[in-house]
Amino acid sequence: MNAPTAPTNLMPERDGEGYLIDPSDWNEGIAKVLAKEESIQMTDTHWDVIRFMRDYYEEHQVAADARFVIKHMESSLGKEARKKLFELFPYGHVKQTCKIAGMKRPRAWSTG
């Protein structure tokens, strides 16, 4: 039997592209649903990136650019960090990390 997922009606309000309207509505349960919608199976490394994104946003009020995420990841992954980031979020680091981390859609898209 499959584990139940959060019913759609329990999800916070989202925009037409699936980003949370209010980032303060985010929690890890919501992140799991958003990741599943993005066809991402969350690993410890995914969670590390998502938590970094949340912390960075809280401190700077802007989503972390890929170079900051890569620098953060280098402490545990070394030179493989850049490659790993794009393997973890294959359909766009900014699109997928911001969505799963519960942030609003970034105004400027960067591929990092």
pLDDT tens digits for 51-103? 999 999 999 988 898 999 999 999 999 999 999 999 999 998 888 999 999 99
One-character DSSP codes across the chain: -PPP---GGGSPPB-TTS-BSSGGG--HHHHHHHHHHTT----HHHHHHHHHHHHHHHHHSSPPPHHHHHHHHHHHHGGGHHHHHHHHSTT-HHHHHHHHTTPPPPSS----
Considering the segment(s) 17-100 as one domain, its CATH architecture is Orthogonal Bundle (1.10)
Q: Where are the domains of the chain?
A: 17-100
CA nearest neighbour of 103 among 33, 2, 23? 23
What is the reported pTM?
A: 0.84
